[in-house]
Amino acid sequence: MRKFLAVKVFFWFWLTIVCTLSLLISISFLQPDMLASKDISPPMLKNLFHLQRSLERHVDRMPEKSIAQIISNRRHNKRAKVYLKHIESEKSLVSAEELYAYDLALLNFAINGEPKAINTEKFRAYGPIKMHIRGDEFQLFMIIDNREDDLFLKVRLMPQWLKLSIILFASMLLSYWFARGLLKPIKQLQTAAAKLANGALSTRANVDNKRQDELGQLGKDFDAMASQLEFQVLSQKRLLADISHELRSPLTRLQMATGIAASKASGDLDSYLQRIEKESQLLEHMLSDILQLSKLESGINHFEPHPISVIDLLTPVINDADFESQQLEKTISTNELPDAIIEGDEILLSRAIENIIRNALKYAKNQVTVTSLIAQQALVLTVSDDGPGVSDDMLDKLCIPFYRASQSRTPDNNKAGGFGLGLAIAQHAIKVHHGHIEFNNRQGLCVTLTIPLQQP
């Protein structure tokens, strides 16, 4: 029979109640003799006063008999027994020998008080009432055997604070146990979904295979979905990389044929051949970027990290960017480069930073600002432009290959444009160096790179 979640919820609530009651009963057996008192009911108070008057009449009528004989020989109301409590315990009297088996000392708290109904585990007592008999003062109690079940009587006689504490403890413990078992697979699914959303396609929820309820089935469905998603994405990336790789051979032959034709052509054909050569070079650059991105995404692009000076890394990149900015009639400003050491691949990091700065130059109106500083044991490099920026809902999509945020961020046809691969390559290059990249809008688009420093 399949165990549905609703059945489990019902079972756990039922188990909580049963265990709480069992714990109450178990603890009640560990308690010493207990009693509970309450106001006496009017009928029982009337019976108690009737017993008092009856005893007084019998004592007056039978002076030859002792008080013990009189209370022992009472014929009416045989169920009720008499206990005459004296200030001196050896002078106390009972109407039946079995009363000596009871712990009558439990009634001492009521001496000289108002009549009460006192309930103990073995008997119920009503009293006391003061009586003066033959020169002695007694406290009269009427004793009735307690015929209630001892098991539940012990629970009922427990102090209220103790019963409440046991109920709260047992219910909290079992509820926590139940909630933990219920929420554990949900937490696993939540964590796996977050990792999957961040690009970790190999993530699985790994919910316990023994679970046969809805949460167990949900975990299995999630893992199946993640496996299918990973297969589709990896197949797409592999296909793109394979196509790019296969295109390089005919592209190389095309470039060679174009070069040979250009050496023999003249007149109007020369301009067309130059256009073909330019487009083939552009295609070669795009295929190179696709292959580079594919290697970064698949982890094939292994490198041996080595110490890199931040100044040596950024100086040539900024100098090249400054030269390009002059050709575009734009300016690039920087602060003093920090003297620090990071660890990684210099070529890979240089290309990532170069892609970001060139992207900023492409869309800037007049100026690009590059700021570098050391914060929290990391190099923080900020590249911002004064261009149109992008909408906030598009910021997390800028590193998607071939993605263009809007027409305002698309270069004019007369300008050399990219393919939406530069930022994607930069993101993966920074990621393999255990850093991260962030995008936000200020005056224009602002890109922030964070790369950990070399650990001492």
pLDDT at 72: 81
Q: State how far the Cα of 60 lies from the Cα of 378, in Å rounded to an integer.
A: 105
Q: Render pLDDT for 308-335 as a digit per residue (tens, 0 to 9).
A: 898 888 898 889 888 888 888 899 998 8
Residue 233 or residue 369, greater confidence: 369
Structural domain boundaries, residue 127: 34-150
- SS3 track for 65-78: CCHHHHHHCCCCCC
Lowest pLDDT segment from 94-103, 122-131, 171-180, 373-382: 171-180
According to the model, what pLDDT value does residue 407 have? 47
Contacts of 124 (CB under 8 A, 6+ apart): 117, 118, 143, 144, 145, 146
Question: How many angstroms separate the CA atoms of 143 and 83, rounded?
Answer: 7
Among residues 99, 134, 150, the one where a domain terminates is 150
Provide the mean pLDDT of the chain: 77
Is residue 39 in some structural domain? yes
On whether residue 273 sits in a domain, the answer given is: no
Residue 145 lies in a domain: yes
Q: Is residue 122 part of a domain?
A: yes
Decide if pLDDT at 3 tops 60. no
Give the domain-ending residue among 134, 150, 166: 150
Structural domain includes residue 324: yes
What mean pLDDT do residues 279-297 have?
Answer: 67
The per-residue pLDDT for range 234-286, each reduced to its tens digit, is 776 676 666 666 666 777 777 777 777 777 766 667 777 777 777 777 676 66
- Mean pLDDT, residues 98-118: 80
Express as a percent the part of the chain with pLDDT over 90. Answer: 2
Q: Is the dihedral of CA 258, 263, 265, 271 positive or negative?
A: positive
76: confidence class by pLDDT, cuts 50, 70, 90: very low
State whether the Cα torsion 411-413-414-416 is positive or negative.
positive
Of 150, 171, 204, the last residue of a domain is 150
- Yes or no: say if 343 and 308 are a contact pair by the CB < 8 Å rule: yes
Supply the pLDDT for residue 411: 44
Does a structural domain hold residue 233?
A: no
Q: How confident is the model at residue 204 (pLDDT cuts 50, 70, 90)?
A: confident
pLDDT of 127 reads 86
Q: Would 447 be classed as within a structural domain?
A: yes
CATH of the domain at 369: 3.30.565.10
What average pLDDT does the segment 335-359 reach? Answer: 86
Q: With bands split at pLDDT 50, 70 and 90, how would you rate the model's confidence at 298? A: low
pLDDT of residue 24: 65
- The pLDDT tens digits of the residues spanning 4-51 come to 655 666 666 777 777 777 766 666 555 444 556 678 888 888 888 888
Which CATH number covers residue 71? 3.30.450.210
**How many independent structural domains does the chain possess?**
2
